[in-house]
């Protein structure tokens, strides 16, 4: 068992600050609100917080459009409060992982304000400019937020590139001044004692836009090795890259320790399994459990010791998993626990997104006026203009829209779920009366205590960190079962990933059941009847 890094044992909790806890009644979450909830996070047992961006921003993309990397967004609080959060978290053995958004800035960043002044401006080449081609956009690159990725700038008669919103111009990473400015900023945060960085769409920084190439450009890994050397390489910190297109081979390039790049990446292969081939995220198809088993098992074994896995179902861009692949009606508790047990006993660093630990659900809307997310709003306009029916578009947004995961954290059953005493920036999910932290802490059978137990098991057993993974192939399609083994100790994890009764033939003899999402005894061998979403882990003889 190699020398274990702290982030190989960590469990990371993602906070979307805007929606976590408001402390001053303006309806927007803030840093003081987070500080006030650190004891809750310590009770859960997490050891790191991935903090979505808190830097100065006009909030065109809710903070992923940064106008000053070294100042705190006014609505979130002050730099002193940020430093206090780092200190208070550290007292509870919780590290703060900052969200590094350096593929692009806000168009209100001083660099872009300068760059737009003209072609001769020293900051012009901090961004990516192109002359029109045949009086039109330079090429067909499109924005993730609909439409062309090229925006015309009348002052200079050129286009600038934005892979996201028009207010998120892409930085030109080929410019050494840009890279040096980013490294200086990263060192500013490292010197404040942050525990590392989550790197937003980091696979895009090597783009070659004139060749229409966006992800995995030829200089990408050279930039990351340079960044490692210039910043976090001399600190014991964690770095996780958001790399939508990563395969295991690509993931090894990012996370093989010998390459001195990143600690790990978020891969999204499992996340794409309910998306129709060659279509957009909005065009969904039923999930194949068999495909999910194959994909997650591949990632469990393909990295070997040349990289490290991240494990997640949720984040601030994804619909809530219990609504997406569980059952958020009659089996909400059982299916949320099943999803947690199945994922958290796999190999890799697990990430819990705020509210996942209490089984928060999607929040369907009936009209676009209820939606805040720029991605959904732009898609709505685009699909309307293409003749899609409004009901169909709203249905897509209710299934996959990002606001599903951004409704305020549900703390208790008082007004606005205890999130704010003011008017929340985004509606609170009306089911907060039944689904909230207060109710979860008072119920020994709640989803919260399943997450707490899983985190304990990870802290107590090296097998969860280092145990070899082996999928059990000959099971019913809907039954996802695997072994973990280390130094002669063997665990069995079994999950009925469906709302139908299933059976599972137990070839082993169970020694001790470690966690189970139903409150009845399990036979120690032979044919098991699995109830809807039934899941357990057991040590076997
Ligand atoms: O997301 C990258 C990204 O491509 C996602 O927007 C994803 O493609 C889409 O949302 C699927 O629903 C990162 C951040 O996580 C996201 O919040 C930002 O909007 C985006 O980059 C731009 O910074
Ligand atoms: Ca506030």
Q: What one-character-per-residue DSSP string does 315-379 give?
A: -TTS--HHHHTS-SSTTHHHHHHHHHHHHHTSSSEEEEETTGGGT------SSGGG---HHHHHH
pLDDT at residue 259 above 60?
Answer: yes
Atom of ligand 1 nearest to the CA of 375: 10
Residue 417 main-chain phi, psi, to 5 deg:
60, 25
Proportion of the chain above pLDDT 70, given as a percent: 100
Q: Using CA positions, which residue lies closest to atom 18 of ligand 1? A: 64
Mean pLDDT to the nearest integer, 338-365: 99
* Coil, strand or helix at 190: helix
Per-residue pLDDT, 172? 98
State pLDDT tens for residues 35-88: 999 999 999 999 999 999 999 999 999 999 999 999 999 999 999 999 999 999
Q: Is 39 exposed, middle or buried (0-12, 13-18, 19+ CB in 10 A)?
A: exposed
pLDDT, tens digit (0-9, with 9 covering 90-100), for 104-152:
999 999 999 999 999 999 999 999 999 999 999 999 999 999 999 999 9
Q: How far is the CA of 22 from the centre of ligand 2 (A)?
A: 4
pLDDT, the chain, mean: 98
Q: How many CB atoms lie within 10 A of CB 94?
A: 21
ipTM of the complex: 0.97
Residue 1 scores a pLDDT above 80 = no
Ligand 2 centroid – CA 377 distance (Å): 25
Q: For residues 265 and 248, what is the distance between their CA atoms, to the nearest angstrom?
A: 10
Residue pair 444/359 in contact (Cβ under 8 Å)? The answer is no
Q: Could you tell me if the CB of 480 is within 6 A of ligand 1?
A: no
140 catalytic, yes or no?
no
pLDDT in the model for residue 3: 82
Whole-number pLDDT of residue 423: 98
Q: Is residue 170 within 6 Å of ligand 1 at its C-beta? A: no
CA–CA separation, 467 vs 459, rounded Å?
A: 13
Q: What is the pLDDT of residue 495?
A: 98
Q: How far is the CA of 373 from the centre of ligand 1 (A)?
A: 11
Quote the ligand 1 centre to 86 CA distance (angstroms).
26
In whole angstroms, what is the distance from residue 401 CA to residue 388 CA?
17
Residue nearest to atom 8 of ligand 1 (CA): 144
- Nearest atom, ligand 1, residue 315 CA: 15
Residue with tokens 């209710």: 398
Residue nearest to atom 2 of ligand 1 (CA): 201
| 170-209: pLDDT as tens digits | 999 999 999 999 999 999 999 999 999 999 999 999 999 9
Distances (CA, A) of 237 to 95, 126, 153, 231, 480: 9, 28, 40, 10, 34
Which one of the listed residues 200, 269, 328, 534 is annotated catalytic? 200
Q: Is the minimum distance from the CB of 144 to ligand 1 under 6 angstroms?
A: yes
Q: Which long-range contacts (CB under 8 A, 24 or more apart) does 436-444 make?
A: 436/358, 436/410, 436/411, 436/412, 437/40, 437/358, 437/409, 437/410, 437/411, 437/412, 438/411, 438/412, 438/413, 439/412, 439/413, 440/357, 440/358, 441/43
pTM for this one? 0.98
Evaluate if residue 527 carries a pLDDT over 90.
yes
Mean pLDDT of 439-448: 98
Give 110's contacts (C-beta < 8 A, 6+ positions apart). Answer: 67, 68
Within 8 A by CB and 6+ apart from 87, the residues are 193
Judged against a pLDDT cut of 60, whether residue 2 lies above it is answered with: no
At residue 305, the pLDDT reads 83
Write the pLDDT tens digit of every residue in 159-169.
Answer: 999 999 999 99
Burial class, 255, CB count within 10 angstroms (exposed 0-12 / middle 13-18 / buried 19+): buried
């Amino acid at each position: 068992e190699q020398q274990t890094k702290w982030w190989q044992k960590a469990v990371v909790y993602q906070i979307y600050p805007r929606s976590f806890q408001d402390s001053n009644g303006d309806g927007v979450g803030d840093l003081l609100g987070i500080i006030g909830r650190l004891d809750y996070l310590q009770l859960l047992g997490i050891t790191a917080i991935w903090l979505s961006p808190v830097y100065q921003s006009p909030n065109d993309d809710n903070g992923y459009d940064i106008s000053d990397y070294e100042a705190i967004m006014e609505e979130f609080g002050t730099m002193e409060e940020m430093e206090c959060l780092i200190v208070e978290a550290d007292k509870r053995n919780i590290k703060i992982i900052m969200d590094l958004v350096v593929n692009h800035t806000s168009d209100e960043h001083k660099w872009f304000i300068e760059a737009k002044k003209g072609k001769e401006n020293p900051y012009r080449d901090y961004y990516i400019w192109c002359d029109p081609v045949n009086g039109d956009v330079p090429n067909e690159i499109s924005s993730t937020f609909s439409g062309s990725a090229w925006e015309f700038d009348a002052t200079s008669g050129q286009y600038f590139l934005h892979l996201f919103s028009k207010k998120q111009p892409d930085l030109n990473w080929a410019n050494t001044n840009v890279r040096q400015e980013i490294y200086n900023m990263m060192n500013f945060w490292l010197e404040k004692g942050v525990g590392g960085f989550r790197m937003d769409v980091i696979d895009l920084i090597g783009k070659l836009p004139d060749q229409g190439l966006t992800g995995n450009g030829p200089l990408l890994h050279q930039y990351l090795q340079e960044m490692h050397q210039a910043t976090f390489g001399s600190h014991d910190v964690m770095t996780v890259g958001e790399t939508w297109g990563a395969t295991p081979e690509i993931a090894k390039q990012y996370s093989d320790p010998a390459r001195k790049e990143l600690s790990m990446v978020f891969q999204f292969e499992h996340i794409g399994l309910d998306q129709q081939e060659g279509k957009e995220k909005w065009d969904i198809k039923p999930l194949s459990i068999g495909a999910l088993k194959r994909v997650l098992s591949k990632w469990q074994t393909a990295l070997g010791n040349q990289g490290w896995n991240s494990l997640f179902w949720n984040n601030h861009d994804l619909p809530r998993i219990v609504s997406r692949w569980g059952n958020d009606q009659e089996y909400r508790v059982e299916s949320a626990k099943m999803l947690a047990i199945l994922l958290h006993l796999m190999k890799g660093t697990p990430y819990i997104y705020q509210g996942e630990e209490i089984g928060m659900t999607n929040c369907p809307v009936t009209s676009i006026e209820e939606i805040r997310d720029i991605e959904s709003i732009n898609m709505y306009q685009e699909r309307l203009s293409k003749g899609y029916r409004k009901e169909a578009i709203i249905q897509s947004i209710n299934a996959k829209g990002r606001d599903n995961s951004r409704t305020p954290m549900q703390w208790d059953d008082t007004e606005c779920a205890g999130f704010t005493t003011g008017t929340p920036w985004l509606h609170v999910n009306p089911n907060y009366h039944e689904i909230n932290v207060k109710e979860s802490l008072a119920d020994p059978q709640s989803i919260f205590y399943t997450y707490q137990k899983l985190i304990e098991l990870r802290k107590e057993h090296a097998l969860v960190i280092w145990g070899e993974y082996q999928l059990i192939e000959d099971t019913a399609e809907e039954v996802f079962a695997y072994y973990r083994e280390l130094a002669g100790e063997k665990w069995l994890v079994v999950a009925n990933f469906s709302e139908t009764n299933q059976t599972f033939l137990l070839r082993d003899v169970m020694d001790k059941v470690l966690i189970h999402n139903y409150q009845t005894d399990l036979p120690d061998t032979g044919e098991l009847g699995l109830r809807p979403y039934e899941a357990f882990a057991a040590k076997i003889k």
